[in-house]
Structure 1
Amino acid sequence: MLDWLAHQRLDHAQRLLETTDDPIDTVAFRSGFGTATSLRLHFAAKLKTSPMQYRRAFSQLAVAGRGPRRAACDAD
């Protein structure tokens, strides 16, 4: 159950990073991680990157016209 919830939160954070320019603190709060530190730890563990690096690579704002390119998050 906790793995599923963490996966859902990470998926939501990915969508927010791709589609908004909200600060990382706001993304963390809106996706249920509470703090940017917690979000960064989950990103590092599951996606081997940081939220900021993920945004740079996959943001629809940064990759205009190419659509989202989402990284898969493995469910444990």
Structure 2
Amino acid sequence: MGRLGEPLSIDRLAAQAHMSRRTFVRAFRASTGTTPSAWIRTRRLDAARRLLETTDLSIDQVAADCGFGSAVTLRQNFASAFSTSPTDYRRRFTA
């Protein structure tokens, strides 16, 4: 999962790339076709799905490990992206 559990702000990423925030966002979008925040959210959701499929970690721990900050935030993002809850998603792999 790399650094997904760490706070990743656009300003911090831009500073690490030695760019202004605006230049970084434009360059990132030109390179990937998406915004940095959408890219990070997608990577975090992918990591959460893998953990739900392969571990017995609690939803709270999955949320923390993937950088969502809280189980509520994970549930909201997960439902928005996959039209199901993390718990229901996990049930598919344990049945």
Query: Shared fold (TM-score greater than 0.5)?
Result: yes
Q: Kindly name which structure, 1 or 2, has the bigger radius of gyration based on alpha carbons.
A: 2
Question: How far 1:18 sits from its partner (Å)?
Answer: 0.3
TM-score of the pair, normalised by structure 1: 0.76
Gaps of 5+ in 1: 64-76
> Take 1:2 and 1:11, find their aligned partners in 2: how far apart are those partners?
14
More relative contact order in 1 or in 2 (CA 8 Å, sep 6+)?
1
SS at match of 1:33: coil
Q: Does 1:53 align with 2:68?
A: no
SS at match of 2:48: helix
Q: Does 1:37 align with 2:39?
A: no
Question: Residue 63 of structure 2 aligns with which residue?
Answer: 28
Structure holding more helix per residue: 2
Gaps of 5+ in 2: 1-35
Question: How far 1:25 sits from its partner (Å)?
Answer: 0.1
- Runs of at least 4 residues off by over 6 Å: none
Q: Does 1:7 align with 2:71?
A: no
- Structure 1 vs Structure 2: percent identity of aligned residues? 50
> Take 2:69 and 2:89, find their aligned partners in 1: how far apart are those partners?
19
Which amino acid counterpart does residue 57 of structure 2 have in structure 1? D
Corresponding pairs, count: 60
Question: How far 1:34 sits from its partner (Å)?
Answer: 1.0
RMSD: 0.8
